[in-house]
Amino acid sequence: MLNSSTFRAIASGRRRGLAALAIRILLHLFAIPYRLIVNVRNYAFDHGWRKIYRVSVPVISVGNLTLGGTGKTPTVAWISKWLITQKINPVIVSRGYKGDCKDKNDEAVELAEKLPDVRHVQNPDRLKAAQTAVADHAATAIVLDDGFQHRRLGRDFDLVLIDSTEPFGFEYLFPRGTLREPLSNLRRADAVALTRVDCITVECRAILKKRIQSIAPNAVWIEIAHRAAFLTERGGETVSLTSLHNARVVAFCGIGNPENFAQTLAREDWDVQECKEYPDHHHYTQRDSDWLLRRAEQCGATAVLCTHKDLVKIRPLWQGGIPLYAVMLETEMLAGEAELKTLLDVLITDKRLPESRTI
The architecture of the domain spanning 59-226+332-357 is 3-Layer(aba) Sandwich (3.40)
Specify the pLDDT at position 99. Answer: 44
Half-sphere exposure in the Cβ direction for 286 (13 Å, CA): 1
Binned average pLDDT, 10 residues per bin, the chain of 359 residues: 79 90 94 96 95 95 90 92 94 75 66 88 94 95 95 96 93 95 96 94 96 97 93 91 94 88 91 92 93 95 95 90 92 94 90 41
Specify the pLDDT at position 156. Answer: 95
Q: Are 54 and 73 in contact (CB under 8 A)?
A: no
Q: Are 158 and 186 in contact (CB under 8 A)?
A: no
Point out which residues pair with 222 in neighbouring strands: 193
Cα(37)–Cα(181) distance, integer angstroms: 10
Q: Are 328 and 344 in contact (CB under 8 A)?
A: no
Phi-psi region of 253 (alpha: psi -120 to 50; beta: other; left: phi over 0): beta
Specify the pLDDT at position 106. Answer: 66
> Which of 261, 231, 200, 226 lies closest to 331 in space, CA to CA?
226
Indicate the angle between helix axes 106-114 and 72-85, nearest 10 degrees.
40
Q: Are 328 and 237 in contact (CB under 8 A)?
A: no
Apex 340 CA angle, 352 and 148, nearest 5: 80
Half-sphere exposure in the Cβ direction for 20 (13 Å, CA): 12
Question: What are the structural domain ranges in the chain?
Answer: 4-46, 59-226+332-357, 227-329
The count of other CB atoms within 10 Å of the CB of residue 64 is 27
Cα(97)–Cα(118) distance, integer angstroms: 19
Cα(130)–Cα(150) distance, integer angstroms: 12
Specify the pLDDT at position 85. Answer: 94
Cα(232)–Cα(88) distance, integer angstroms: 29
- Spatial neighbors of 205 by CB under 8 A, at least 6 apart, are 164, 194, 197, 223
The whole-angstrom distance between residue 193's C-alpha and the CA centroid of its chain comes to 12
DSSP string, 99-122: G--SS--HHHHHHHHH-TTSEEEE
Instruction: List pLDDT tens digits, range 251-298.
Output: 999 987 888 899 899 989 999 999 999 988 899 999 999 999 999 999
Specify the pLDDT at position 190. Answer: 96
Q: Are 70 and 162 in contact (CB under 8 A)?
A: yes
Specify the pLDDT at position 109. Answer: 79
Output the CATH code of domain 227-329: 3.40.50
Q: Are 296 and 304 in contact (CB under 8 A)?
A: yes
Single-letter residue type at 332 = E
CA of 316: how far to CAs of 285, 287, 293, 310, in Å? Answer: 10, 13, 14, 11
- Common-topology check for domains 59-226+332-357 and 227-329: yes
